[in-house]
């Protein structure tokens, strides 16, 4: 099984250190405008049974900006090691907020 997983716009890849992942966000959606800074948050270290909630947002409009715009919020819940079926209903161990301003 490939240790890299790609879901939506987030790629999570183990760093080689136990419980640590690196992430890379990208958008394959047309005319995605990223209003967040280019610096990414550091990798997250998780112990077995812990989980992270990672949120990113995007604003889309026409290339000329003459049409209405739309907003997308992507939320990724990533657990490390064995986890209960209801693990994502609890408060996350780590919360990473990469939401940027809309304008």
pLDDT tens profile 63-83:
766 777 788 899 999 999 998
pLDDT tens profile 8-43:
455 666 666 666 666 655 554 444 455 545 678 888
Higher pLDDT, 17 or 56: 56
Which structural domain, as residue segments, surrounds residue 12?
5-98
Q: Please state, in angstroms and rounded to a whole number, the distance separating the CA atoms of residues 50 and 99.
A: 22
- Are β-strands 94-98 and 51-60 bridged in parallel, bridged antiparallel, or unpaired? parallel
Does a structural domain hold residue 103? no
The size of the chain, in residues, is 103
Q: Is 41 exposed, middle or buried (0-12, 13-18, 19+ CB in 10 A)?
A: exposed
0.85 cut: is pTM over it? no
Does a structural domain hold residue 85? yes
pLDDT value for 22: 64
The domain total for the chain is 1
């Amino acid at each position: 099984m490939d240790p890299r997983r790609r879901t939506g716009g987030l790629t999570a890849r183990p760093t080689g250190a136990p419980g640590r992942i690196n992430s890379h966000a990208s958008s394959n959606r047309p005319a995605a405008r990223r209003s967040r800074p280019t610096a990414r948050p550091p990798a997250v270290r998780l112990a077995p049974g812990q989980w992270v909630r990672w949120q990113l947002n995007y604003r889309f409009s026409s290339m000329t900006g003459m049409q209405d715009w739309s907003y997308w919020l992507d939320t990724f819940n990533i657990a490390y090691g064995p986890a209960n079926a209801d693990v994502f209903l609890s408060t996350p161990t780590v919360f990473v907020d990469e939401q940027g301003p809309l304008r």
